[in-house]
Structure 1
């Protein structure tokens, strides 16, 4: 007797999520002074970090920052370039157009620096470490921060073991030896200046 073949059911379409909320407002620039100052004097760095994460590491922070700086220097139209990343970010997290339901390009055009700071804070608020880029942040297939991956990485770091189950202290001792060598080398130079 043959078993009846199971019918492959089509995947149900996902219903759109209810609109999310931005973790901070457009005018909250001063809640992160470091990013505020960086964005004020070198917005290309902030944009590069945002674009790298929003594009799931397909381009480097350097490449995006360079592109932004080039467009800013030669045309002044960097707001048009950066509005695409804002749109991707909004769609990824189902965020409303804000403030006042303005389109992304209008927000970027009128308040470029505040918008970049808000996008940066949004990604930070969702668990991304902006300083290390997309590739080193533990993410799932959708490019979202994955708590299970974070725990897995921490477990791997904390339990360096050999195949036989014994703790492998060699990497830690090598790191300590390198640190001691660096400190001794710095102290040697420090002594030269004191004489």
Structure 2
């Protein structure tokens, strides 16, 4: 189900029918899927591995810990793209609807916005800037001189 409103998620919580790859990843390896989403949301400031490891460690101690960590990044993603909602809804959705379902929705959201989530932040930036020529200062014949 795709929403047409300008400020809503592109897919619902359980719209996995056309995104089997991301659904399987979040079901069997939620720490990897979360790490990939968080790396994109953080614009590469922290790697997928660090986010995934932290998510896994928090989940090893308590489900609530990893869910709250995932909730923080759901809120960041939502605010970045102007998606309607609130922190309360993010936390309820992440904690009560299994964090892997909300992570899968976030994964699909980033893909619908043109990211290859599996590639990571740096590769997405490289691909998006490929072919864009870097600006160089113009060369001036005979140099510059004050008059």
- Give the TM-score, by structure 1 length: 0.60
Higher relative contact order (CA 8 A, sep 6+): 2
- 2:25 aligns with 38
Considering only aligned residues, what root-mean-square deviation do their CA atoms show, in Å?
2.3
**Aligned runs of 1:56-135 on 2, under 5 Å?**
56-77=43-64, 78-97=66-85, 103-111=89-97, 112-135=99-122
* SS of residue paired to 2:130: helix
Displacement of 1:136 in angstroms is: 1.6
Aligned-partner Cα distance in 1 for 2:19–2:38: 19
CA displacement, residues 33-71 of structure 1 (integer Å, 9 cap, x when unaligned) = 111111111100110000000011010000000000001
- Structure 1 unaligned segments of length 5 or more: list them: 1-17, 140-148, 157-195
Query: Which structure has the larger Rg?
Result: 1
CA displacement, residues 167-188 of structure 1 (integer Å, 9 cap, x when unaligned) = xxxxxxxxxxxxxxxxxxxxxx
Aligned partners of 1:86 and 1:104 also within 8 Å = yes
- Structure 2 unaligned segments of length 5 or more: list them: 134-147
- 1:153 aligns with 130
Aligned partners of 1:22 and 1:95 also within 8 Å = yes
Give the ranges of 4+ consecutive aligned residues of structure 1 lying more than 2 Å apart after TM superposition. Answer: none
CA displacement, residues 139-189 of structure 1 (integer Å, 9 cap, x when unaligned) = 8xxxxxxxxx73x51478xxxxxxxxxxxxxxxxxxxxxxxxxxxxxxxxx
* SS of residue paired to 1:29: coil
